[in-house]
Amino acid sequence: MRVWALTGQTPRVWSDPNRKKVCFYGSLNLLNGRVTVTRTETMNSTTTAQHLEAVLASYPDNSLLLLWDRASWHGGAPVQEVLASNPRLEVLKLPVAAPDLNPQEQVWKATRRAVSHNHQFVKLPALADEFETHLTQTTFPTSMLEFHGYLALRPMFI
């Protein structure tokens, strides 16, 4: 990180001594740039299943293809139950250690840059609120579909 400071004055970075954290699941719609967000205290198969349900609820009339990284919490019985009971949701797993192929990674990067870089939040809940607000109120452009020719072929499948 880079931070501005007066010459000769080392900036002081405050750190909360407790171990509280906030986690976010995000699913980027590659057609419209909107993100479905789930905020949670932990990432595991149960919270992953809850996020999948939120994605399904966001697009009740559509078949969905989810491009997914290989995070350990993307597996487990709760996730498998959601996938088995929702055949309109298909998962395509991305290669291991390939964040450049995952468009959601650019969303995280842009949101961190906009919200948490060179900003000071005294309390974690305020930072988490601002992070979630940015995710839900920002349209994140992506050229992935255009790059792979999907937009040209899409009319044939509608």
Taken in order of first residue, the domains within the chain and their CATH numbers are 23-157 (3.30.420.10)
What's the chain's average pLDDT? 89
Nearest to 140 by CA among 16, 63, 30: 30
Position 117 scores a pLDDT of 81
40: pLDDT strictly greater than 60: yes
Mean pLDDT within 91-96? 92
Label each residue of the chain as H, E or C: CCCCCCCCCCCCCCCCCCCCCCEEEEEECCCCCCEEEEEECCCCHHHHHHHHHHHHHHCCCCCEEEEECCCHHHCCHHHHHHHHHCCCEEEEECCCCCHHHCHHHHHHHHHHHHHHCCCCCCCHHHHHHHHHHHHHHCCCCCCHHHHCCHHHHHHHHC
